[in-house]
Amino acid sequence: MTKSKPKNDFIGQLTALGNIPRFFRMIWDVSPRMAMLNAFLRVVQAAIPVSMLYVGKILLDDILQCLGAGCADLIWGVPRSILFWVGVELGLAVLNSLLGRGISLTESLLGDLVSNDSSVLIMRHAATLDLFQFEDAEFYDKLERARTQTGGRTMLMSLVMSQLQDILAILFLVAGLAAFNPWLIVLLVVAVIPSFLGETHFNRRSYSLTHSWTPERRELDYLRFIGASNETAKEIKIFGLENFLTDRFKTISDKYYDANKNLTIRRAGWGTLFPLSVRFPITLLMWSLSCKPSTEVLPWAA
């Protein structure tokens, strides 16, 4: 039987994005209330960065005003307005930390529910299959990937939701850029493109590595089982297979480790450069804000 090659072209990657709504429907079905709570916390947290930028801008304006014209309303030697905005900044930082812990909590519980629900669906589907389907190597590899990836559903859910949260945070930042300096929106879009392309590339390479090594990982599980099982211990000692099994396991595991290590090192190396492209427009935003008072860019701040 000829094996069908997976789609690695750009069109195939876009087609695979069509599975995201089904994935979110699966998350919604296991616990709608917890899914809504997690989404609400992420929306609020996505608005924290731009809010802290604006509060920091107002705080700097008040400090410069006090240095230039002086301040009369003092509390413990500090202007009342500065104390107020410092408190707001501190409150936003505390709120951001609490939101992060709430997201981690709901995400962990929701991930366990999704993993358990996926396992139940796979077991029920396997019970409906005929025996000859299990003897098909290509089909069994797909079933094995589905079974082993049930634990990875939590990580996948976290990655997808985190990316959506980052997109929402960027949209809030775009709104801030539109209010202060619309030309910086172009810089923001250009800055995000390298990071997006890099993450997409390495996510595809990581999945491709896991997909292509499915038979080898299944062999590793088999070698690990028969090499340390009481059911096969007698035969291994009689035929002297312990060195063969351990050497075979070490050879395959070392090859997989080298392949995964090279990919991880490249991803970490490029990953240190991608955040710089996002920090650049933020730096320009802060510089732009520092050149204008709050009442000039936002009249309602007066």
CA distance linking residue 88 with residue 201, whole number of Å: 40
In a domain, 99, yes or no: yes
- Is pLDDT above 80 for 79? no
In a domain, 14, yes or no: no
In a domain, 242, yes or no: no
Q: What is the pLDDT of residues 130-165, one digit of tens each?
A: 877 777 777 877 777 777 766 666 667 777 788 788
**Among 6-20, 172-186, 223-237, which stretch is predicted with the lowest mean pLDDT?**
6-20
Q: Give residue 299's pLDDT band: very low, low, confident or very high (50, 70, 90).
A: very low
In a domain, 224, yes or no: no
In a domain, 174, yes or no: yes
- Is pLDDT above 80 for 40? yes
CA distance linking residue 151 with residue 263, whole number of Å: 22
* Number of compact structural domains in the chain: 1
Please tell me which residue, 244 or 231, carries the higher pLDDT value.
244
CA distance linking residue 142 with residue 148, whole number of Å: 10
- Is pLDDT above 60 for 62? yes
In a domain, 109, yes or no: yes
Q: Give residue 37's pLDDT band: very low, low, confident or very high (50, 70, 90).
A: very high
Greatest C-alpha distance within the chain:
93
Query: Model's pTM, two decimal places?
Result: 0.60
In a domain, 140, yes or no: yes
Q: Give residue 101's pLDDT band: very low, low, confident or very high (50, 70, 90).
A: very high
Q: Which residue range(s) make up the domain with 65?
A: 20-212+272-301
- Is pLDDT above 80 for 245? yes
Q: Give residue 302's pLDDT band: very low, low, confident or very high (50, 70, 90).
A: very low
In a domain, 100, yes or no: yes
- Is pLDDT above 70 for 47? yes
Determine the pLDDT at residue 78. 66
Q: Give residue 211's pLDDT band: very low, low, confident or very high (50, 70, 90).
A: confident
Question: Mean pLDDT of all residues in the chain?
Answer: 77
